A = this chain, B = another copy of it.
Amino acid sequence: MPDAPGRLLATYRIDAPAGEIRARAEALAVEQSVEMPLAAIADERVRGEVVARVEDVRAVEGAHEVVLALAADTTGFEASQLANMLFGNCSLQPEVSLVDVAFPPDYSRAFRGPRFGLSGIRALVHAQGRPLTCTALKPQGAPVADLARLARTFALAGLDVVKDDHGIADQAYGRFAERVPAVQRAIDEANRETGGHTVYAPTFSGGPEALRAQARIARDCGVRMALVAPMLVGLPAFVSLQAELAGPVMAHPAFAGGRIAAPLLLGKLFRLLGADATIFPNHGGRFSYSRETCLAIAQAARAPWDGIAPCLPVPAGGMTVERVPEMRADYGEDVMLLIGGGLLSAGERLAERTRAFVAAAAA
């Protein structure tokens, strides 16, 4: 087995005293590969080609960064095992965080990346040269007819994408099989009236059988986009589902917080695993991500990557129409602005505020 498949360079932050950091790094290399005493490994090939290597140890503010070279073969070129080798056992070690991963040149070929990506979503909604606009149907528990009416209002106002709230799933008060066709019909009707191209992205959730059934229902009623939380359905299920979807998939960050850096997980990894768009909590809203972190997520989503299409960044989480100019200045035009509660709080002036959002993004 040659070393040809290469190694992933994974950067970890470790909180450990300087005097212990080299030993701690070596222990992490063992933990994230063979997980056994090296002295007990007789096989030279395993020691040389399977055990992770410490490539670098450097002091950073208040901690150390350690770069491990993980043998690509150990990841099985599959999503769950990739996550396992990057952060499986050390997720249980609170002093360790995963900061970034550099993949060897051919690694991304094992994964497809976005099938549609940023440009595919633009084409779908017929929007060029401006930020895209998105909102969410809320609240869960509202009668299906109310959600459909809400979707119609949004579509008439000219939003590009209307997604389900991430809390909407297949619940007793709004079964996927009833709700999704009703909302899609409402949007289709509005599109016919306006000549517009609003797209609906319902939430897909549950186990493999449920996801397949939802994909069939969605295809049958003309749904052309999907909302999925990869960390809730599981990374490999997120990948598998894509083959059953007629259009792009938008990743939701629910359950994705933790000690994997957000630019790596929400930007780079979700993109590698096929996210055409990735939602993240923008700074200054209900979440505490810094502006720097948010820009890094957008950068990871859109940066050139051999053979992997750009993914559309979608800042969200308490945004308002007033912040549209600032968000454009931050992210440029290749972005989708998601305003949920900030539209709904307009109450009876919902249509008006939605049109203002659309106008601000088109300005």
Contact = CB atoms under 8 A, between A and B. Distances in A.
Interface string A266-297: 00000000000000010000111100000000
A351 interface: no
Interface in A329-349: 340-341, 344-347
Task: Determine the main DSSP class of A at the interface with B.
Answer: loop
Interface residues of A, number: 88
Contacts of A49: 141
Interface stretch (A28-36, A178-186, A300-308): A28-36
A236 B234 contact: yes
A93 to B, nearest CB: 6
B236 A166 contact: no
- Interface-centre pick from A142, A208, A259 (highest chain B CB count, 10 A): A208
Contacts of A254: 84, 88-89, 91-92
B46 A141 contact: yes
A91 B258 CA distance: 7
Contact of A236 (B91, B207, B253): B207
B40 A347 contact: yes
A138 interface: yes
A235 B236 contact: no
A229 B84 contact: yes
Nearest to A51: B139
B170 A78 contact: yes
Nearest to A71: B141
Interface in A96-147: 136, 138-143, 146
15 contacts: A34-B141, A36-B139, A39-B347, A80-B205, A80-B207, A84-B205, A91-B255, A91-B257, A93-B287, A95-B288, A207-B237, A208-B236, A209-B240, A210-B236, A237-B237
Given A50-B141, A236-B237, 13 more contacts: A33-B167, A35-B138, A35-B165, A37-B341, A43-B142, A43-B146, A80-B232, A81-B169, A84-B255, A88-B166, A91-B231, A95-B288, A234-B234
